[in-house]
Amino acid sequence: MSKYVLTPEWQQRAAKAYQEDPGCQRAFRMISGGQAFRFIAEPRYGIDSDIYIVNYLEAGELKEGKFVPEEEGKNADWVLSATYDMWKKVLTKQVHFLTAFMNGDIRLEKGDYSAMLKAAAGGSRVVDIFGRGGVIWPDELSPEELNKYKAKVKEFRQKLKV
C-alpha cells in the first residue's frame, strides 16, 4: 500500500524523502514545532473522520512525521486544513499551495500567518515529496480496489487510534 495516499507507508516515505532533501530544511528553517495537515472527512473514500498528519520540525529539520489523533492534531503549533479534493489538487500540482492558501481553500486554523506565508514559498518542495514515486488516490481506484483501500484505512486508523 506504500503508493496509496493517506496511509502510514505514504507518510513515512514522504518523511524520509524530506529528511534526505537539504532544500526542504532550508525552505522551512523558520518553522519549529508541530505542523498539522488536516484532511477533512470524506466518507466516500473511507475517510470517515478527519485525518491529521503532523510533522514535527525544529528549524526546518523534520524530527518526526506521523498520523495523530484529532486532539493532538488540533494542538499542533500550526493547523492547515482542506478538503480531500483540495489537498489532491495541491499535491498533484493542479493548484499551487500558495494560491490555495491565499484563496482560503487551505485554511490556517491555528498558527502564525506571516511565518506560514514565508514557508509557503518553499511549499513546492514538499508537494514534490508527497507525490514522489507516483502515488494513487482513492478516487482513481476501481470499486473493488476502493473497498480494499477503505478496509486498509479503517484497519490502520483503529490500530493507531487515529
Q: Where are the domains of the chain?
A: 8-160
Q: Is the pTM of this model over 0.85?
A: yes
**Would you state the torsion angle of the CA atoms of residues 115, 121, 122, 124, taken in this order, to the nearest 10 degrees?**
130
Q: Which helix (H) or strand (E) holds 63?
A: strand 61-68
Question: Once rounded to an integer, what is the mean pLDDT over residues 10-35?
Answer: 88
Enter the C-alpha cell of residue 50.
478527519
CB within 8 Å of 74: residues ≥ 6 apart: 36, 52, 109, 110
Q: Which helix (H) or strand (E) holds 156?
A: helix 143-160
Query: Hey, what CATH class is 8-160 in?
Result: alpha beta
3-state secondary structure (DSSP) of residue 143: helix
Task: Give per-residue pLDDT as tens, 58-106.
Answer: 998 999 999 999 999 999 999 999 999 999 999 988 999 889 999 999 9
